[in-house]
Structure 1
Amino acid sequence: MSSATPTPRDTGLPAPTTATPSSLPAPPSPTPTPKPTILHLGDDIRWNHALYEELGAKFHIERTYSMGREDFKAALRDRRWGDFVGMYRPFWNTGGEMGNWDEELITLLPSSCRIYASAGAGFDWVDTRTLATHGIVYCNAASACTESVADTAIFLLLSTYRAFPWSFLAARSCDPTAFHAANQHIAAVTHNPNHTTLGIIGLGKIGFRLAQKAMAAFEMEIAYHDVVRLEAREKELGHVRWCGELEALLAVSDCVVLATPFEGRAVLGRQEFALFKRGARLINIARGKLVDEEALGEALDSGIISAAGLDVHSDEPNVNPKLARRDNVMVLSHTAGASVESHVGFERLGMENLISFLGGGKALTPVNLEWLVRRE
């Protein structure tokens, strides 16, 4: 008789069951990690909807819409939006209702904030150095409006050489006498820009693109002044004159264009206007406060400056009436960068900065890295 251990069949007992993966109880689901928060300042996205969806997939987006300074400060104190890691302002004409970004506002930001990506080229309204000392990278969007601003500079350049403000105002007056005066006498005081020297203060993206356009369209000679010599851009442009001192640029230029950021002081005042070539022209497509407007008026009166083209003004939205009334000054309403193409680019570049920096640590268009205090 066999001594083998009986099987369940032998004993009449039910066969044991073996648990399968599908029959095991499901492990507890891990608690989802909350997405980092981005604070979107101002109006809704208008064009780059797919990219905004991508941003929303990576980050939780909070909105401020339109909010005045005091309400914004109170919301920051109350931590209404939590520990957001970045801020996004896609338009220059909305999302800035809280006024200048100075130390008062910046010190209220959560320590989690690492980046502020904003529309526009200029950043005189934000204290980028203080942001940097708080570990926050500021990114502008100058490259998005480069074409529009450079084109406006060309328009203003032609206006100053060809006395278009005089012709325009005479025609718009519907006064036959004014029309006749412009028609008969304007040729005696106007010139073509061809082969004259264009002096550019600030050979950044906009200044560089302006140089390309002026050389191609009018065969202008280019001189420039910047805080450092930009030899790679010189090589790309070809024959370009570097002026290490501003005084040297002013002495050789038939037309001077301001294309540099405002850093707290006027670049052109009485002392500088005295160094211009007599009869030179001035164009400002940067910031109004770069020019002492009273000194500019005096230079126009004396003939040192023969004409000016101003997209920007020192006390916006107030335009200097003494300058605006002159028929040798073209004034605009700070619209050099205003185009659909610029706004589409502002939207896109801000989001690309956020995704790139927060995803891999590299901002695309930072302006304050030299002062940045790194945080662990």
Structure 2
Amino acid sequence: MADPTNTPMPPGTPAPASPVLAASVPDYAAALPRPTATKPRVLHIGDPVKYNPETYAAFSAQCDIVRPSTPERSRPEFIAALREQRWGDFDAIFRPFWGTGGEMGAWDAELIDLLPASVKVFASAGAGFDWADTKILGERGIIYCNSGLAAAEAVADFAIAMIISTFRHIPWCISAAAAPATFQDCHSRATASSHNLRGRVIGVIGFGNIGQQIAARCHHGFGMAIHYHDVVRKPVALEATVGAVFHDTLEGLIRASDCVVLCTPSGNKVITAETLGWFKKGGRFVNVARGSLVDEEALADALESGGIGTIALDVHAGEPAVSPRLLKFVGERAMLTCHNAGGTVETHVGFEELSMRNIMAVLAGGDAITPVNTHYLKREPAAGGGL
């Protein structure tokens, strides 16, 4: 799947505060070793930092930042540079933006095997990490950190709009206003298939930070019943905050839900011909996770047969191309967007900040803030630090 691209920032956009990060991330800059002749070296791939000058000042004072040129980031030249050790024995890799820094393509064995043994941490913008082999990185002792924490609020907000759309046919109501005939048709027919959200069951697949924020909005804002499925059940106290009901099987969750929201990391397909058969007749489906988790041909079959009533997809298997079969349902039964859920100015501020904070934490001898592959590490991360 292609690199997801969030909303680009216009030049000169001011850097707003990031309340989530400000409240939850310690100041690791003070814990870094003081400047010496052999400062930790960080390979910075992509554009310069834009939104967090104070954090970057501390980051660059404590670390030797090396930023490859744009030509050096093309895969052939990047590989050549790693082989000849052009950037020396660097300790960390820093990618603060989605729009740049990925020109070398997938971080697979070919690239990872060329990294110097000194590398301890790879911190990147974005919640997804399907473009990096985190298992191989972990086996090399490299902690991979994503920035999903910074995107959670934006994704949850966007997901609510998509959930509402599946119950109220928002795209149809918007597009039909263009002409009197379609206006009247929508005014007459949309009512017969639209429903209030209160009392409906929202089924959340993946009850991490984003899933929990979606659940809180649905429960407290719209009076929906919260059901969820995850690989590990959450603490009872956490469930109680939204009255969440845990299902130990995916089938149980889907069969109980009026609308299913997919919030899991990348991995094996979750929505398939089999799982689509568990949906209530005319059920609703929302995807703010990864397009690769959905069998889009099977989803189109379910829409055509009427097994699925309405969908809202922000992510697609072949981005930037969208399934032609699914495009046929745009309007009355489908809301299709362009991987926009996490794309806000505040998210980009947080991506940049959190990536720097992760590297500073690890290089200071502490724990990473948002690691995703510690279960693959052959060596344990250093003691200390913490969330």
The verdict on a shared fold, with TM-score over 0.5 as the criterion, is: yes
Is the contact made by 1:48 and 1:344 (CA closer than 8 Å) also made in structure 2? yes
Cα deviation code 1:63-92 (max 9, x no counterpart): 024321111111111111110000111111
- Residue correspondence of structure 1 range 156-235 to structure 2 within 5 A: 156-171=162-177, 174-231=178-235, 234-235=238-239
Is the contact made by 1:324 and 1:330 (CA closer than 8 Å) also made in structure 2? no
**AA partner of residue 307 (structure 1):** T
Cα deviation code 1:126-172 (max 9, x no counterpart): 1101100011000001110111000110010011100112112222x
Provide the rounded CA distance (Å) in 1 between the counterparts of 2:56 and 2:158: 30
Provide the rounded CA distance (Å) in 1 between the counterparts of 2:276 and 2:131: 27
Which residue pairs with 1:342 in the alignment?
347
- Residue correspondence of structure 1 range 13-52 to structure 2 within 5 A: 33-52=37-56
Which residue pairs with 1:355 in the alignment?
360
1:233 Cα deviation after fit: 6.1
Counterpart check, 1:373 vs 2:378: yes
Task: Pick from 264, 272, 275 the counterpart of residue 278 of structure 2.
Answer: 275
Is the contact made by 1:41 and 1:88 (CA closer than 8 Å) also made in structure 2? yes
Provide the rounded CA distance (Å) in 1 between the counterparts of 2:256 and 2:348: 36
1:296 Cα deviation after fit: 0.4
**AA partner of residue 358 (structure 2):** N
Provide the rounded CA distance (Å) in 2 between the counterparts of 1:306 and 1:188: 13
Provide the rounded CA distance (Å) in 1 between the counterparts of 2:69 and 2:309: 45
Which residue pairs with 1:64 in the alignment?
68
Task: Pick from 266, 269, 285 the counterpart of residue 269 of structure 2.
Answer: 266
Is the contact made by 2:220 and 2:242 (CA closer than 8 Å) also made in structure 1? no
Aligned residue-pair number:
343
Counterpart check, 1:302 vs 2:305: yes
- Residue correspondence of structure 1 range 232-243 to structure 2 within 5 A: 234-235=238-239, 237-243=241-247
1:235 Cα deviation after fit: 3.7
Which residue pairs with 1:128 in the alignment?
134
**AA partner of residue 347 (structure 2):** S
3-state SS of 1:312 partner: coil
The alignment-based identity, stated in percent, is 46
Provide the rounded CA distance (Å) in 2 between the counterparts of 1:277 and 1:311: 22
1:195 Cα deviation after fit: 1.1
Which residue pairs with 1:138 in the alignment?
144
**AA partner of residue 311 (structure 1):** D
Is the contact made by 1:224 and 1:243 (CA closer than 8 Å) also made in structure 2? yes
Provide the rounded CA distance (Å) in 2 between the counterparts of 1:47 and 1:96: 20
Q: Give unpaired runs (5+ residues) of structure 1.
A: 1-31
1:175 Cα deviation after fit: 3.0
Provide the rounded CA distance (Å) in 1 between the counterparts of 2:304 and 2:241: 35
Bigger Cα Rg = 1
**AA partner of residue 291 (structure 2):** G
Provide the rounded CA distance (Å) in 1 between the counterparts of 2:158 and 2:321: 20
Task: Pick from 81, 86, 89 the counterpart of residue 83 of structure 1.
Answer: 89
Provide the rounded CA distance (Å) in 2 between the counterparts of 1:236 and 1:249: 18
Task: Pick from 308, 325, 340 the counterpart of residue 328 of structure 2.
Answer: 325
1:351 Cα deviation after fit: 0.6
Q: Give unpaired runs (5+ residues) of structure 2.
A: 1-35, 383-387
Which residue pairs with 2:101 in the alignment?
95
TM-score, length-scaled by structure 2: 0.86
Provide the rounded CA distance (Å) in 1 between the counterparts of 2:269 and 2:239: 30
Is the contact made by 2:239 and 2:245 (CA closer than 8 Å) also made in structure 1? no
1:374 Cα deviation after fit: 1.1
**AA partner of residue 231 (structure 1):** P
1:315 Cα deviation after fit: 0.5
Counterpart check, 1:249 vs 2:253: yes
Provide the rounded CA distance (Å) in 2 between the counterparts of 1:304 and 1:98: 42
1:234 Cα deviation after fit: 3.3
Is the contact made by 1:65 and 1:95 (CA closer than 8 Å) also made in structure 2? no
**AA partner of residue 53 (structure 2):** H
Cα deviation code 1:173-227 (max 9, x no counterpart): x332222211221101111111100000000110011111111111111111111
Provide the rounded CA distance (Å) in 2 between the counterparts of 1:65 and 1:214: 46
Given the superposition, is the C-alpha separation of residues 163 and 235 from structure 1 closer, same or farther in structure 2, using an over 3 Å criterion? Answer: closer
TM-score, length-scaled by structure 1: 0.89
**AA partner of residue 217 (structure 1):** G
Which residue pairs with 1:311 in the alignment?
314
Which residue pairs with 1:10 in the alignment?
none
Provide the rounded CA distance (Å) in 2 between the counterparts of 1:48 and 1:283: 33
Given the superposition, is the C-alpha separation of residues 232 and 363 from structure 1 closer, same or farther in structure 2, using an over 3 Å criterion? Answer: farther
Cα deviation code 1:319-341 (max 9, x no counterpart): 11221231211001001000000
Cα deviation code 1:299-358 (max 9, x no counterpart): 111222110000000001101122123121100100100000000000110111111111
Is the contact made by 2:273 and 2:298 (CA closer than 8 Å) also made in structure 1? yes
Is the contact made by 1:214 and 1:220 (CA closer than 8 Å) also made in structure 2? yes
1:238 Cα deviation after fit: 4.0
Is the contact made by 1:274 and 1:304 (CA closer than 8 Å) also made in structure 2? yes
Is the contact made by 2:40 and 2:64 (CA closer than 8 Å) also made in structure 1? yes
